[in-house]
Amino acid sequence: MSALFKNGFHPFHIVDLSPWPILGSFSVMSSMLNFYLVLNSMVPLNYFLISLVSLLMILYQWWRDVLRESNYQGMHSLKVRSGLYLGMVMFILSEVMFFFSFFFGYFFSSLNPSIDIGNCWPPSGIQSLNFLGIPFLNTVILISSGISITWGHHAMINSNFFQSVISIFLTILLGFFFLYLQALEYFEISFSMADSVYGSLFFIATGFHGIHVFIGVLFISVAFMKLFLVFPQKSYVCFEMAAWYWHFVDVVWLFLFISIYWWGS
């Protein structure tokens, strides 16, 4: 009722003044700029790490405020929650278009390879990865994580706190294990981003997917911490949106595995 009075007798949440959007924008810009400068050996790696840590701290503070608004101030009415769900759906659709551009570039280059790369795919001199190695293991890991987060969702619906904790924690571990294997693959690979259009598309597509996996792990971790605060409730907006995002990451990886690792090799 207090939230209703504050919002002027309507179900919408009038957001308070917050420094996090503008600070987050500057932090993202700084992180991307420093990442570019590090790739070109213009600044040391510490510059990028400082920007990344500052971005994570800002995201933590931002998520903390959102959790306070939803759990303690009662700002997230049914109307607000439906808006959050719609916003998440629109965000995932924009991400679909984002990755579609990579797949379009990949198939455009692979189905009609130019004479500059030897009229073949992979280009002449490029030794592609064995798709039955780390890529296949990562596929099993992500599919398993999709199963575990679905298990956690059903456990929440059935008010099974123990199974919810175990399944979500397992999903987080699988996500970090995927990132570890992806980094290991990058260190062992025989080509670089500068090795023709194949190398560029490979690292851009799989690299951005890895970034999305990292963001998804952070998202699920926030939902995991929130689980201890709101478990008796029947509304888990944060977790459900994290689960949607994670399933999107799973589907993108399946397309990457089939098109780049398997068909493209």
pLDDT given for residue 143 in this prediction: 92
- Going by the DSSP 8-state scheme, the letter that residue 44 receives in this structure is -
pLDDT given for residue 140 in this prediction: 93
> Does 72 share its domain with 89?
no
Determine the Cα angle at 188 with ends 182 and 191, to 5°.
Answer: 100
> Does 142 share its domain with 225?
yes
> Does 71 share its domain with 97?
no
- Burial of residue 208, with CB atoms counted within 10 A of its CB: 0-12 exposed, 13-18 middle, 19 or more buried: middle
> Does 183 share its domain with 68?
no
**The pTM of the whole model exceeds 0.75:** yes
Distance CA 238, CA 260 (A): 32
> Does 47 share its domain with 100?
no
Dihedral angle of Cα 100, 101, 106, 112, to the nearest 10 degrees: 110
Helix (H) or strand (E) holding 31: helix 20-39
> Does 166 share its domain with 250?
yes
- What is the average pLDDT across 65-74? 72
> Does 61 share its domain with 192?
no
Greatest Cα-to-Cα distance within the chain, rounded to the nearest angstrom: 70
DSSP-assigned letters across all residues of 102-134: HHHHHHHHHHS--GGGTSSSSPTT-----TTTH
- Structural domain total, the chain: 2
pLDDT given for residue 8 in this prediction: 57
> Does 105 share its domain with 171?
yes
58, 76, 94: which is the final residue of a domain?
76
Distance CA 218, CA 52 (A): 13
**Amino acid identity for residue 201 in this structure:** L
43, 76, 109: which is the final residue of a domain?
76
> Does 103 share its domain with 70?
no
Find the domain containing 49 and state its range: 1-76
Report the chain's mean pLDDT, rounded to a whole number.
Answer: 82
Dihedral angle of Cα 151, 153, 158, 161, to the nearest 10 degrees: 80
Residues 172-225 have pLDDT tens digits of: 999 999 999 998 888 888 777 777 777 788 888 998 899 899 989 988 888 888
The HSE-up count of residue 187 (CA atoms within 13 Å, CB side) is 6
> Does 204 share its domain with 134?
yes
Residue with tokens 């296949």: 136
Ramachandran bin of 125, using left for φ above 0, alpha for ψ from -120 to 50, beta for the remaining angles: left
76, 111, 137: which is the final residue of a domain?
76
Distance CA 133, CA 152 (A): 29
191: CATH: 1.20.120.80
> Does 154 share its domain with 30?
no
| Residues contacting 233, CB < 8 A, separation 6+ | none
Residue 170 predicted with pLDDT over 80: yes
70: CATH: 1.10.287.70
pLDDT given for residue 139 in this prediction: 92
Task: Decide: 77 and 13 in contact? Cβ < 8 Å.
Answer: yes
Distance CA 253, CA 247 (A): 10
> Does 66 share its domain with 95?
no
